[in-house]
């Protein structure tokens, strides 16, 4: 880990940072890794320039997803170090502060707008949904046959919707093959499947597996070339310029980037929408926000629809924070 002021996040000498923790209840427990998450904990960063200009960013490492944890990020703040999620948060806070000073929006600091509105994937719907909506189902916690039967029944009920699947590496390779075989002619309605089995992306399986393969939690600097689609969760990946450069590299290789969230609060979500709006591509996977019972400020209703528009969001992340919901981390 490096300094809390990494070279990729430029701060001037008059800028001060303050750090806060939050704890938000989930509407219902959700599986993350091998545990159930009923409360979302994270860290907010506030940048101030001494002239009443402020900006906010969010560090929201997801315990059970990747190597970074909430406790690790908290310890990094206290020791003056930086982790990928803290680097993202500090960068967002700085950009928001500068945008406030210049009278511009946070998103305007990210380059050319490519899509003002974007389709948003709906997670695990139980019944009928509007025609044309893209949905995402978790698979792998039941047998491949049970999962495929459930999917086929849902497809019959919703004949005009496309589907994304996420197995989180819970199947074995033979299970994933059995699932694809049983789905049969409905495969054309499946956009892709994420992480079908552990080790899937150690070699290139694209020529042997009949569904498009998307890499998510096993992503590293090399194995993404074995995937058709790369899922990027920006808030877990470091400073924004680096995240956007990685996305451009992936797109230039002929692959698609699927932008995804990780149960961030409205602070992080506003930043994610700004980043995704600077890229063409498929529907975004920002449905995790709908699982939060509360937010660090007022709930942002426009984040919970089947389509998200940049103009409907706050101009800056953290524009409506309730300080009473935060606990400051006092540094010595």
Pull the structure tokens for residue 285.
């996977």
Domain count, the chain: 2
Is position 317 within any domain? no
10 in the same domain as 135: no
pLDDT of residue 256: 97
- HEC string for 270-303: HHHHHHHCCCCCCCEECHHHHHECCCCECCCHHH
Exposure class string for 53-62: b at 16+ Cβ within 10 A, else e: bbbbbbbbbb
Say if residue 77 is exposed, middle or buried (CB neighbours under 10 Å; 0-12, 13-18, 19+). Answer: buried
As to burial, measured by CB atoms within 10 angstroms (0-12 exposed, 13-18 middle, 19+ buried), residue 324 is exposed
CA-based end-to-end distance of the chain:
19
pLDDT at 12: 56
Residues 229 and 151 occupy one common structural domain: yes
Do 56 and 134 sit in the same domain of this protein? no
Structural domain that includes position 267:
117-312
Q: Is residue 110 part of a domain?
A: no
Indicate whether 198 and 271 sit together in one domain: yes
CATH number where 49 lies: 3.30.390.10
Please check whether residues 99 and 236 belong to one and the same domain. Answer: no
Per-residue pLDDT of the chain (332 residues; tens, 9 = 90+): 455 544 444 455 578 999 999 999 999 999 888 789 999 999 999 999 988 899 999 999 999 888 999 999 999 999 999 999 999 999 999 999 999 999 999 999 999 999 999 999 999 888 888 888 899 999 998 999 999 999 999 999 999 999 999 999 999 999 999 999 999 989 999 999 999 999 999 999 999 999 999 999 999 989 999 999 999 999 999 999 999 999 999 999 999 999 999 999 999 999 999 999 999 999 999 999 999 999 999 999 999 999 999 999 999 999 999 999 999 999 87
Which of the 8 DSSP states describes residue 180?
H
Same domain, yes or no, for 131 and 189?
yes
Claim to verify: residue 35 and residue 154 sit in the same structural domain? no
Q: Look at residue 112 and tell me if it is in a domain.
A: no
Phi, psi of 133 (to 5 degrees): -75, 140
């Amino acid at each position: 880990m490096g300094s809390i002021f990494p070279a990729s996040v430029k701060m001037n000498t008059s800028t001060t940072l303050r750090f806060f923790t939050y704890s938000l209840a989930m509407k219902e427990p959700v599986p993350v890794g091998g545990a159930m998450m009923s409360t979302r904990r994270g860290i907010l960063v506030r940048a101030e320039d001494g002239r009443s200009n402020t900006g906010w960013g969010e560090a929201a490492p997801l315990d059970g997803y990747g190597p970074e944890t909430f406790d690790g990020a908290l310890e990094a703040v206290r020791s003056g170090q930086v982790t990928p999620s803290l680097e993202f948060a500090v960068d967002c806070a700085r950009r928001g502060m500068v945008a406030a000073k210049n009278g511009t929006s946070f998103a305007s600091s990210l380059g050319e707008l490519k899509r003002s509105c974007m389709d948003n994937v709906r997670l695990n719907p139980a019944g009928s949904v509007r025609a044309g909506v893209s949905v995402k189902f978790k698979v792998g916690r039941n047998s491949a046959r049970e999962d495929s039967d459930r999917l086929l029944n849902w497809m019959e009920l919703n004949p005009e919707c496309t589907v994304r699947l996420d197995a989180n590496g819970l199947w074995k390779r033979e299970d994933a093959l059995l699932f694809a075989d049983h789905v049969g002619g409905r495969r054309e309605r499946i956009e892709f499947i994420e992480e079908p089995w552990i080790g899937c992306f150690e070699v290139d399986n694209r020529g042997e597996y009949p569904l498009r393969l998307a890499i998510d939690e096993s992503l590293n600097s090399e194995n993404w070339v074995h995937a058709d689609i790369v899922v990027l969760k920006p808030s877990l990946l470091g400073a924004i310029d680096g995240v956007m450069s990685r996305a451009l590299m992936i797109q230039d290789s002929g692959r698609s980037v699927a932008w995804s969230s990780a149960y961030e609060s409205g602070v992080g979500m506003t930043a994610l929408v700004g980043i995704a709006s600077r890229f063409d591509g498929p529907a975004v996977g920002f449905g995790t926000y709908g699982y939060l019972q509360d937010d660090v400020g007022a709930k942002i209703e426009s984040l919970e629809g089947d389509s998200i528009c940049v103009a409907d969001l706050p101009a800056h992340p953290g524009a409506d924070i309730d300080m009473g919901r935060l606990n400051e981390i006092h540094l010595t």
